[in-house]
Amino acid sequence: MIVVHHLENSRSQRVLWLLEELGLAYEVRRYARDPKTLRAPKALQAVHPLGKAPVIADDGAVVAETGAIVEHLTTRAGGALVPAAGTLERSRYTHWLHHAEGSAMPPLVLKLVFSRLAPGSPWPLRPLVAGIARTVQDRFVDPELTRNAAYWEAELAARPWFCGADFTAADVMMSFPVEAFAARGTGAGPRLRDWLARIHARPGYGRALARGGPYAYA
């Protein structure tokens, strides 16, 4: 049995969705974030030394990192939701599988960190910290987010899904960064909004939400 160590409001929601799309049986073990720090609980360190989600256990193997989990699960399902080797779609698939965490998520994480920097600072320093945070966001973070979103929009203008004509596990990987970007009100274009509407309408997505519980990616 596949066990998903699922942290609330996290990227591990993608793993639940992928499992639903693949039709693999699994068990969910939920973890709540610390209400003050919003960090994962220390209990996750007993599963994996980094103490982060997502992590799965599958017949003795413990697999961390969403991309690695996606590869593990799609292989387990006989290559389902993966384009055929040697095709242009497969090349795109490999790109988007890595782009989701390698290029898309860092500016989103920085946006979150800098938005919370000033409120967590000692009150005499808050105006200074707030000014630095705004400068970093205005000069680096927001332009990088805008550049990424324009790239996604252009790619979806050329094809209905990120790899081509068919839905793949790469769309599952891209769900979290696109959802997080759109939720921050940073101007998702019509192609991105249409893509979001289509993934949210998938039955597997709905079943994953029911299994994983409330999901706030903003």
Q: How confident is the model over 186-197, as pLDDT tens digits?
A: 678 999 999 999
- Work out the mean pLDDT of the chain and round it to a whole number: 91
Predicted local distance difference test score (pLDDT) of residue 131: 77
Tokens linked to 45: 């360190």
Instruction: Spell out the CATH class of 2-81.
Output: alpha beta
Sign of CA dihedral 204, 206, 211, 213: positive
**Number of neighbours of residue 166 by Cβ within 10 angstroms:** 12
Instruction: Measure the CA–CA gap between 159 and 92, rounded to whole angstroms.
Output: 12
Q: Are strands 26-31 and 2-7 parallel, antiparallel or unpaired?
A: parallel
Instruction: Measure the CA–CA gap between 163 and 171, rounded to whole angstroms.
Output: 8
What are the residue ranges of CATH 3.40.30.10 in the chain? 2-81
Instruction: Measure the CA–CA gap between 123 and 139, rounded to whole angstroms.
Output: 25
Written as one letter, the residue type at 70 is: V
pLDDT digits (tens, 9 = 90+) for 162-182: 999 999 999 999 999 999 999
Which residue is it, tokens 């596949």? 2
What are the residue ranges of CATH 1.20.1050.10 in the chain? 88-203
Predicted local distance difference test score (pLDDT) of residue 115: 80
Any idea what DSSP says for residue 43?
G
**Number of neighbours of residue 142 by Cβ within 10 angstroms:** 16
Whether residue 218 has pLDDT greater than 90: no
In CATH terms, 88-203 corresponds, of 1.25.40.10, 1.10.10.10, 1.20.1050.10, 3.20.20.70, to 1.20.1050.10
Predicted local distance difference test score (pLDDT) of residue 186: 62
Q: In which band, very low, low, confident or very high, does the pLDDT at 33 lie, cut at 50, 70 and 90? A: confident
